[in-house]
Amino acid sequence: MRNETLYLPSPAKLNLFLYITGRQANGYHELQTLFQFLDYGDEMSFSANHSGLITVLPELKGVATQDNLIWKAARALQQAASCKLGANININKILPMGGGIGGGSSNAATTLIALNHLWDLKLPLKKLADIGLQLGADVPVFVQGFAAFAEGVGEKLTPVEPKQRWYLVIRPDVSIATVDIFTHPKLIRNTPKRDWERLQKTDYENDCEKIVRLLYPEVDKQLSWLLQYAPSRLTGTGSCVFAEFDSQAEAEAILRKLPVNTTAFVAKGHNQSPLHQKLAEITANAKSF
């Protein structure tokens, strides 16, 4: 066990495109999507203990501790590694629930990465990603830490290097349950599969966008506003929408034009997760002493 407090980011992600290409017998949807990380997200701290107990503070409103993906990730790692150690975890929660930018999945992945380090388990990322997949389809990409073209239910990851643009992300004041979108009878489920070479040469779209805009007028309103200024679309199953720009100045100029009481932020896309960048920095500094 490492006797230190580890401070790590839990970054947001964007689905730069999302296509639903079929449905499996078990009800899960086959998809093709492009993940990229943002230099914006929650901040988490971790310390190990000998009690075996896992605490997560502050408690998320309306979420029981045992339903919290952070606690679930820690318990899943304990069980997978037959580890008797515990952890004290704190989070400064910024990313919205039901926003489509990976808040809960990112938190779970950061927990797996942090506790693998603090508990000195030395499990490879592939093993951590397998544990994460049991918690949610988006967890493995956060564990692996590279921008990825994803297939299957989102677990088949191919490292790619899309352009690292600047993004203006708007957070409509609604929370969207992924299950509500994926079970909607009018959701497109038969987009033809295409290889990465072809996909990156086409205009990016999101098959969930039409349904979300139909069901959530606030999302439709914000996306319509954004489309006046730049290529824009939904991320994941929403509710967040984003516009892409070539520079920070361009993104911030549109941010200043946003209507009053609109929640938004500007961030840069990264092909390596800020989580992995930070842990590599911590490890390098430790080795220098």
Q: How far apart are CA 127 and CA 124, in angstroms?
A: 5
Greatest distance between any 2 Cα atoms in the chain: 59
Helix ranges (H only) for 136-273 are: 139-144, 178-182, 196-199, 209-215, 217-226, 248-255
CB 60 within 8 A of CB 46: no
Query: Exposed, middle or buried: residue 202 (CB in 10 Å: 0-12, 13-18, 19+)?
Result: exposed
- For residue 33, give both structure tokens: 């999507």
Nearest 5 degrees, angle CA 100-CA 164-CA 235?
15
Among the listed residues 13, 72, 207, 268, the single catalytic one is: 13
- For residue 263, give both structure tokens: 């929640």
What is the residue-wise DSSP string for 43-71? EEEEEEESS--EEEESPPTT--GGG-HHH
Helix ranges (H only) for 119-208 are: 125-133, 139-144, 178-182, 196-199
For 66, other C-beta atoms within 10 Å of its C-beta total: 10
CB 117 within 8 A of CB 85: no
Place of tokens 């508990």: 119
Among the listed residues 42, 138, 207, 268, the single catalytic one is: 138
Q: State which amino acid sits at residue 115.
A: L
Per the annotation, the verdict on 138 as an active-site residue is yes
What residues are annotated to the active site?
13, 138
